[in-house]
Structure 1
Amino acid sequence: MNLQISLISLRTFVEVARFRSMKEAAQSLGVTPGAISQQIRIVEERLGTVLFERSSRDMHLTAEGVRLMEALNLPFQQIQDAVEDFHHRKPKRDSLVVTTVPSFASSWLVPRLGKFSRLYPDIEVKVDSSVALVDLRHEPVDVAIRHGSGNYPGMSVTQLLTPQLVVIGSPAFLASVGPILAPSDCLALPLLQDRDRMDWVTWFRAHNVDDPSGRAARGTSFSDDALMIKAAAASQGLALVRDIYAEEAIGNGLVEVPIAGSIGTSLSYYFVTKPQNVQRQRIQAFKNWLLAEIAIRPNL
């Protein structure tokens, strides 16, 4: 007689004995009642005995079934306890929730997060890039990367960087319009605008370019720099965008900087967290990594 019985079959027997129901045992093990019935049949055939008395309402162990259940119940419980003990002893990954604006997340932070994960594999970063600003005082957020004046009462604030506005255009577009030798040359070209249509106006003023016709404020406008960079890459015109957002597109050759003359912006990016969280290891690690990445940024 072949008495070899798999652990799967024996585990199935134990579950049916506990629930006194093939249907409930199937739900517990995540299989079909038919699979349960087949495993019970295998055990009974290998042992050459009937283990259950079946009725229309439930199942009862026979005397032989009781003997087998008494022999198997403790070992299976010990296996379960060992697995649970291993799970509880296993080091858990630290979770770090970061909130920031969509443009910063998509254009700068997310492409670099792989570096952080390789350096700190036990810290699991969760990025929230919803448009609405999250209230750090009441929401389960560890870090906010904010674009603003730096005035965040009651928070620990570290300045990360102040973006520069740079002119970009696609290689194909720039080849079609010829060289741009002076800031005033840009006025004759299609200009892609920010939401408020003020960046180009500010840029021309900073370079002492007269614009009596108001040409600097005309052109298709976009709600954020990421969309404007895509439009520039599609040869729709010149864009004036924050350098931090343009780095990836420039590095990939999608756009180029045709003329020097970047200007600083009035707002900066800040690392913001609750004062009581400043010394937490995962937050310190993330801040130090951000500052290191910013330090090695290319000059556009």
Structure 2
Amino acid sequence: MNYRNLTPSMSVLLAFEAAARHESYTRAATELSLTQSAVTRQVQALEQQLGVTLFRREGRAVKLTDVGRLYQREIAEALGRVRSATLHAMAHQAGAGSLRLATLPTFGSKWLLPRLHGFYRHHPDVLVHINSRIEPVDFATSGIDAAIVVATGELPGLICHRLHAEELMVILSPTLEATRAQWSPVDISQQVLLSVANNANAWGEWFTHHGLPHQTMRLGPSFELTSHLVQAVRADIGIGLVPRILIADELASGELTCPTLPYASARGYYLVYPPRNQALPALDAFRHWLLDTAERDV
């Protein structure tokens, strides 16, 4: 076997991966700053080298074949490892480097960013590029080095560090809170209940915890962002059940009230990353700072 056939050039692999991800030669060409015909030639050269058909024409569009989709998945992961190794080498040479971090939007704005100056005080030569993500991070294709996520436990295939247990608090506007001298779980259950899309079962678990019948729930609108839910509570659209660490400022200022004790959910906040990124100097520095900060914040 000619092993050169098993190692296509990086240029054709990049062209294929971009075309496969977009299922478009035109969009791949724009991303790579090439012409569409150049991308087409690169893909055709790869198909000829492999002896397989990676794309099929459907009118003016191109679609991955089954073998093309399988190859794209493997190549995307391999290219992710190459990019990670390159960043690792660059960071090692510079003695610091940068970190691309994905985080939940409200956690990033309410907890991480107000504390990040402490990291830069000790590591002024490290840059942390923050990307807001709600959906799961694909470390093979996104270029993300690490992520802060909420989960019920450690995620398979990733190194996971638990930062905080999630404590949920019922939040009301001061106007609504003032309509009763005291709020019992039954009183709360009779209100319009607002929820966050990525934790749609929170109210069901809260009802179970307090022994309340689920059929009495008055579920209201759901929101993609916790910050939007908080605004809806302020506007008296309903009441919310949100993580304590995301509303500390609003509770302290009196913008929101909480008539009951926090409820411990089964979820927690984690710093996660693939094993190949473990030795990145920027991630190593950030990990130590983050874990220390989270421990002192309890």
The normalised TM-score by structure 1 is 0.59
1:111 and 2:119 are equivalent in the alignment: no
User: Which of 150, 169, 172 is the matching residue for 2:172?
Assistant: 169
Q: Give percent identity, aligned residues only.
A: 30
Contact between 2:194 and 2:221, CA under 8 Å: does it hold in 1?
A: yes
Tell me the amino acid that sits aligned with residue 161 of structure 2: T
Partners of 1:251 and 1:123 in 2: CA distance: 33
Superposition map of 1:161-200 within 5 A: 161-175=164-178, 177-195=179-197, 198-200=201-203
1:93 Cα deviation after fit: 6.2
* Contiguous gaps of at least 5 residues in structure 1: 1-90
1:201 Cα deviation after fit: 2.6
More strand as a share of residues: 2
Tell me the amino acid that sits aligned with residue 140 of structure 1: G
SS at match of 1:219: strand
Contact between 1:147 and 1:268, CA under 8 Å: does it hold in 2?
A: yes
* Contiguous gaps of at least 5 residues in structure 2: 1-93
Query: Would you say how many aligned residue pairs link Structure 1 and Structure 2?
Result: 204
Q: Which residue pairs with 2:48 in the alignment?
A: none
1:151 Cα deviation after fit: 4.4
Q: Which residue pairs with 1:249 in the alignment?
A: 250
SS at match of 2:283: helix
Tell me the amino acid that sits aligned with residue 222 of structure 1: F
Partners of 2:173 and 2:125 in 1: CA distance: 40
The normalised TM-score by structure 2 is 0.59
Which stretch has the larger CA shift, 120-129 or 102-111? 102-111
Contact between 2:163 and 2:294, CA under 8 Å: does it hold in 1?
A: yes
Q: CA 1:131/1:197 → structure 2, altered by over 3 Å: closer, same or farther?
A: closer
Partners of 2:157 and 2:211 in 1: CA distance: 41
Q: Which residue pairs with 1:267 in the alignment?
A: 267
Partners of 1:164 and 1:133 in 2: CA distance: 22
Deviations 1:106-126 (A, max 9, x none): 332223222322332211110
Superposition map of 1:1-300 within 5 A: 94-175=97-178, 177-195=179-197, 198-210=201-213, 214-260=215-261, 262-297=262-297
1:241 Cα deviation after fit: 0.9
Which stretch has the larger CA shift, 185-194 or 161-170? 185-194
Q: CA 1:153/1:193 → structure 2, altered by over 3 Å: closer, same or farther?
A: closer
Contact between 2:102 and 2:144, CA under 8 Å: does it hold in 1?
A: yes
Contact between 1:198 and 1:217, CA under 8 Å: does it hold in 2?
A: no
Deviations 1:267-297 (A, max 9, x none): 3222112324324442222122222332233
Structure 1 runs of 4+ with >4 Å offset = none
Contact between 1:167 and 1:238, CA under 8 Å: does it hold in 2?
A: yes
Tell me the amino acid that sits aligned with residue 267 of structure 1: R
Q: CA 1:102/1:205 → structure 2, altered by over 3 Å: closer, same or farther?
A: same
Q: Which residue pairs with 1:60 in the alignment?
A: none
Tell me the amino acid that sits aligned with residue 130 of structure 1: R
Contact between 1:180 and 1:259, CA under 8 Å: does it hold in 2?
A: no
Q: CA 1:178/1:217 → structure 2, altered by over 3 Å: closer, same or farther?
A: closer
Rg larger in structure = 1
Please report the RMSD computed on the Cα atoms of aligned residues, expressed in angstroms: 2.6
SS at match of 1:193: strand
1:132 Cα deviation after fit: 4.2
SS at match of 1:165: strand
Q: Which residue pairs with 1:83 in the alignment?
A: none
